[in-house]
Amino acid sequence: MARRPEGGEGGGAGWPSWAVTAATVLLCLHIAAVVSGALGVPPSSELERRVADLFTWHHGLLDQGYAYRYYAEPPPTPVVLAALHRADGSPDVEIRIPERAVPGPPMRRQRQLALANALFASERARAGHRHEGEEEGEGSAGESWLARSYASYLCRTHPGTSGVTLYLQQHLIPDPRQVLEKTRATGLRFDLFDESLLTTPRWIGDFPCDGL
Amino acid sequence: MRRLVSEAAGYFADLVSAIRRGWTNFFFRPADPTPLGLIRIAVGLLGFWSLFILGLDLHAYLGPRGWADAERTYQGLQPFAWSFWFFVPESMLRLVWLVCLGVFGLLAAGLFSRTASILAWIVIVSTVRRVPMALFGFDQILSTLALYLSVSGASGQAVSLDRFFRRWRQSRAAAALPARPGLVGRLVSPTEPGRPAPSVAANLGLRLIQLHLAFIYGMAGLAKLQGPSWWTGTAIWGTMTAGEFVAINFTSLADWPIVLNVLTHASLALEIAFPVLIWFGLTRPLMILGAIGLHLGIAVVCPGLTEFGLAMIAANVAFMSGPWLRSLVAGREDDQPALRVLFDGACPRCRASMALVTAADPDRVIEPIDLTAVDVKTIDPRLTREACMESMHVVSPSGRIAVGFDAVTAIGRRLPLFWVPAFLGGLPGIASLGRLGYNRIAATRPRDVPCTDDVCGIHPPAQATGGRARDLTRQR
């Protein structure tokens, strides 16, 4: 069934030596760049980071340098909640990213999950900078431009909105013991959207539409 | 001391020499391009699908004032990063998106493969750079596969329309040649064989994908060793009960901790073992099957990661043997030809049809036989020349004979390029209409006029056939 590609099956022509040498140099560079890119992200050593920095040009040009550290520890899932304040004083419109049910293929919802993750990561970075004592302000590392940009988009696509307040929430993974206890107590299947699994929404910021 | 130094020097000289030999053998041997062609199809289809889905929220993702403001995203790009999406005005967004879909369509079909693979990579990288906030593992894998397809330039060497059209030109040219003495019947096959020629470029592309894939699994496995839940055997619980990801409620598995332990440890073992055991022939099928199982399992649990799984499975194709992959549709070499096709070599239309069929042959599935040059009884005693002259006959190794339109669909079922028309042609109603149409065409088909004088004999090939011989005779 599966074999390594076999050589010489039909006597394909070999390459001239100069081409082999050139390709070898490029291959070595590329392999070094891919490996160093994956090793250079935290946690990593000073040496690994320095080597990775040598290949920034490669990672930028060829879209390489990924860490591939998928699901090292299954984390809680970030959720973004947006409250759209209406200019006419009517009740706020609530928007959730990811939406509970996104019409269309599942990949569409997966993209929304990625957006919530990105907002979560940018907020975490912002909190980190705050902790280090940096000042907040437009354009500084202290502000999540992604949150501002997302709020601005919501303002534009929802006419009549005077401002947007964004919150972050975490959707926790249930503890198996908690699941067993609840299932035995109620006799019903455990609800993965049970209130106990959703953390209290944490405020990100208020974004008036006329200021965006 | 001198001996120690000389032996150490000798050892290192041998080591360098062995590494050089191994490197050359690994990267610069010709390889069958079939797996690379299949990966090209997968990347084309997945790229098309992914971009199509982004298109459902086109302005939100790719518009200058989408979810992530284009200007700020551009400022945040890492050095040397690039994307054409930053320069597409809002009014042109849908048009450019459609063109990009077309690029993926060309890549999947294998039309202008080299150009299409480079353009597809540009589209993928540009999209990755424009929407960094909406990416996940799928985009990384697709970008990597597209990079190697475009760099190798060999993805169109197999299972591509490029190759089909090239072979079709050859077979049509052969079919247009006048009958030559010494040959048994008319030629209708391309000069290039059905099996694609092995190439160094294909090997380079495949080797890069293989190495990168082994590295990805290795890194994923090593990273998991940092997570306590992978040691306690409960990590899979975390993925199967992440409410935002899953489509099916697996919480009943809380009663089955051993099952969770087995799934967790098996996933981790596969990822750690893959980079080593994939290189040994005996364990390779096990690793590939394990990887396919892992990714299909993830797709069942988290439907949003289906495309990621498919991309990883496509990358695993790089480890599969080209002849084996081809044999899945063409059959084993011992079983070929799967069909012997008796056609009227004196009929230009029949030769043209056979030229189309032989060009689409992935190996030696079809053996065309000019019935005007053989005794049909030698093919199968049940055949008669009169019946064969009425309509095309197809004989399978098991002795089954299909006639006329049924022979056409039997051929189509054997050739991947014609699977869809063959399936449609076999549907009730369409099959009946097909038989009527075929019989009418076969009964009125033009045939070459036998060449009986010197003037006829010096006609250039292009004028000697094409069904015009009968008309020329009438004009005389």
Q: Give the ipTM of the model, two decimals please.
A: 0.89
A55 and A86 together in one domain? no
Residue closest to B289 by CA, chosen among B305, B302, B307, B273 = B273
> In terms of DSSP bridges, do strands A77-86 and A161-171 run parallel, antiparallel, or are they unpaired?
antiparallel
Please give the C-alpha separations between residue A34 and each of A54, B19, B128, B140, B345, in angstroms, as whole numbers.
12, 21, 17, 12, 57
Reduced to 3 states (helix: H, G, I; strand: E, B; else coil), residue B224 is: helix
Is A107 part of the contact surface with chain B (CB cutoff 8 Å)?
yes
The answer to whether residues B321 and A3 touch, using CB atoms and an 8 Å cutoff, is yes
pLDDT (average), residues B330-338:
89
pLDDT on residue B208 = 98
Q: Within a domain: residue A71?
A: no
By Cβ distance, the residue of A59, A104, A156 closest to B65 is: A156
Distance from CA of B444 to the nearest CA of A (A): 43
Provide the b/e sequence for B318-329 (b: ≥16 CB within 10 Å).
bbbbbbebbbee
Q: List CB contacts of B289: < 8 A, sequence separation 6 or more.
A: none
Reduced to 3 states (helix: H, G, I; strand: E, B; else coil), residue B426 is: coil
- Does residue A139 carry a pLDDT above 60? no
Bridge partner residues of A168 (DSSP): A80, A202
More confident residue, A211 or A204: A204
Distance from CA of B418 to the nearest CA of A (A): 25
DSSP A198: B
Judge: A68–B223 Cβ closer than 8 Å, yes or no.
yes
Q: Within a domain: residue A175?
A: yes
> Cis bond leading into B337, ω under 30°?
yes
Please give the C-alpha separations between residue B358 and each of B243, B340, B379, B422, in angstroms, as whole numbers.
53, 12, 19, 16
By Cβ distance, the residue of A108, A150, A174 closest to B56 is: A108
Phi, psi of A208 (to 5 degrees): -65, 135
pLDDT on residue B442 = 92
Q: Which residue of A has its CA nearest to B147?
A: A62
Residue type, A165: T
Judge: B245–A34 Cβ closer than 8 Å, yes or no.
no
pLDDT on residue A129 = 67
- Does residue B64 carry a pLDDT above 60? yes
Residue closest to B142 by CA, chosen among B43, B45, B215 = B43
Phi, psi of B341 (to 5 degrees): -110, 120
CA–CA gap between residue B370 and residue B358 (Å, rounded): 13
Distance from CA of B255 to the nearest CA of A (A): 7
Tokens of A90: 């009517």
Is A101 part of the contact surface with chain B (CB cutoff 8 Å)?
no
Among A38-52, A148-162, B180-194, B386-400, which stretch is predicted with the lowest mean pLDDT? B180-194
Domain extents for chain B? 31-179, 199-320, 334-443
CA–CA gap between residue B19 and residue B29 (Å, rounded): 15
Contacts of A190 in chain B (CB under 8 A): 249, 251, 254
The answer to whether residues A172 and A199 touch, using CB atoms and an 8 Å cutoff, is yes
pLDDT on residue A96 = 96
User: Where residue A140 falls among pLDDT bands split at 50, 70, 90?
Assistant: very low
By Cβ distance, the residue of B32, B244, B320 closest to A171 is: B244
Please give the C-alpha separations between residue B286 and each of A3, B118, B214, B289, in angstroms, as whole numbers.
12, 33, 14, 5
Distance from CA of A87 to the nearest CA of B (A): 22
pLDDT (average), residues B93-115:
98
Is A29 part of the contact surface with chain B (CB cutoff 8 Å)?
no
pLDDT (average), residues B35-41:
98
Judge: B244–A64 Cβ closer than 8 Å, yes or no.
no
Contacts of A30 in chain B (CB under 8 A): 208
3-class DSSP string for B26-87: HHCCCECCHHHHHHHHHHHHHHHHHHHHHHHCHHHHHCCCCCCCHHHHHHCCCCCCCCHHHH
Upper half-sphere CA count for residue A127 (Cβ side, 13 Å): 11
Judge: A14–B72 Cβ closer than 8 Å, yes or no.
no
A54 and A102 together in one domain? no
- Of all residues in chain A, what percent are helix, strand and coil, respectively (each to 5)? 45, 15, 40
- Does residue A143 carry a pLDDT above 80? no
More confident residue, A133 or B327: B327
pLDDT on residue B335 = 86
Distance from CA of A47 to the nearest CA of B (A): 18
Read off the pTM.
0.91
A108 and A32 together in one domain? no
pLDDT on residue A173 = 96
Q: Which of residues 47-76 of A touch B (CB under 8 A)?
A: 56-57, 59-64, 66-74
Among B150-164, B172-186, B392-406, B449-463, which stretch is predicted with the lowest mean pLDDT? B449-463
The radius of gyration computed from the CA coordinates of chain B, to the nearest angstrom, equals 29
Contacts of B25 in chain A (CB under 8 A): 7
Judge residue A63's burial from the number of C-beta atoms within 10 Å of its C-beta, 0-12 exposed, 13-18 middle, 19 or more buried: buried
Q: Within a domain: residue A9?
A: no
Residue closest to B465 by CA, chosen among B350, B342, B343, B341 = B350
A37 and A96 together in one domain? no
A53 and A81 together in one domain? no
User: Where residue B460 falls among pLDDT bands split at 50, 70, 90?
Assistant: very low
Contacts of B135 in chain A (CB under 8 A): 114
pLDDT above 90 covers a percentage of chain B that reads 88
pLDDT on residue B214 = 98
Contacts of A112 in chain B (CB under 8 A): 134
CA–CA gap between residue B187 and residue B176 (Å, rounded): 9
pLDDT (average), residues B311-323:
97
Which DSSP string do the residues of B245-300 spell out, in sequence order?
Answer: T-SS--GGGGG-HHHHHHHHHHHHHHHHHHHHHTTSTTTHHHHHHHHHHHHHHHHH
CA–CA gap between residue B127 and residue B46 (Å, rounded): 14
Q: Tokens 């390029």: give the residue.
A: B417
Distance of CA A178 to the CA centre of its chain: 29
- Does residue A137 carry a pLDDT above 60? no
Judge: A6–B198 Cβ closer than 8 Å, yes or no.
yes
Tokens of B142: 């697709």
Contacts of A197 in chain B (CB under 8 A): 243
**What does the mean pLDDT of chain A come to?**
88
Q: What is the pLDDT of residues B202-236, one digit of tens each?
A: 999 999 999 999 999 999 999 999 999 999 999 99
Which CATH number applies to B334-443?
A: 3.40.30
> Which one of A62, A93, A116 terminates a domain?
A62
Phi, psi of B184 (to 5 degrees): -85, 95
At CA B169, angle to CA B166 and CA B170, rounded to 5?
Answer: 90
**Chain A / chain B CB contacts < 8 angstroms:** 262
pLDDT (average), residues B168-187:
86
Contacts of B284 in chain A (CB under 8 A): 2-4
pLDDT above 70 covers a percentage of chain B that reads 94
A164 and A113 together in one domain? yes
Contacts of A102 in chain B (CB under 8 A): none
Among A99-108, B15-24, B251-260, B444-453, which stretch is predicted with the lowest mean pLDDT? B444-453
- Does residue B144 carry a pLDDT above 70? yes
Q: Which residue of A has its CA nearest to B235?
A: A74
- Mutating which of A34, A107, A164 best tests the B interface, going by the most B Cβ atoms within 10 A? A107
pLDDT (average), residues A125-131:
72
Distance from CA of B87 to the nearest CA of A (A): 17
A116 and A143 together in one domain? yes
The radius of gyration computed from the CA coordinates of chain A, to the nearest angstrom, equals 25
A46 and A114 together in one domain? no
A183 and A160 together in one domain? yes
- Does residue A206 carry a pLDDT above 60? yes
CB atoms within 10 A of CB A59: 22
Judge: A24–B27 Cβ closer than 8 Å, yes or no.
yes
Tally of structural domains, chain A: 2
Q: Which of residues 110-169 of A touch B (CB under 8 A)?
A: 110-115, 118-119, 145-146, 149-150, 152-153, 156-157
Q: List CB contacts of A174: < 8 A, sequence separation 6 or more.
A: A190, A192, A194, A197, B241, B251
Is A188 part of the contact surface with chain B (CB cutoff 8 Å)?
no
Q: What is the pLDDT of residues B342-381, one digit of tens each?
A: 999 999 999 999 999 999 999 999 999 999 989 999 999 9
The answer to whether residues B320 and A3 touch, using CB atoms and an 8 Å cutoff, is yes
CA–CA gap between residue B435 and residue B327 (Å, rounded): 31
Upper half-sphere CA count for residue B454 (Cβ side, 13 Å): 0
pLDDT (average), residues B91-97:
97
Q: Which residue of B has its CA nearest to A172?
A: B242
Among A152-156, B374-378, B450-454, which stretch is predicted with the lowest mean pLDDT? B450-454
Which DSSP string do the residues of B430-476 spell out, in sequence order?
Answer: HHHHHHHHHHHHHHT---PPP--SHHHHT--HHHH-TT-HHHHHHH-
Range of the domain at A48: 17-62
Distance of CA B412 to the CA centre of its chain: 18
Contacts of B212 in chain A (CB under 8 A): 34
Judge: B140–A115 Cβ closer than 8 Å, yes or no.
no
Reduced to 3 states (helix: H, G, I; strand: E, B; else coil), residue A7 is: coil
Contacts of A79 in chain B (CB under 8 A): 244
CA–CA gap between residue B45 and residue B362 (Å, rounded): 21
Following CA atoms B385, B388, B393, B398 in sequence, which dihedral angle do they give, to the nearest 10 degrees? -20
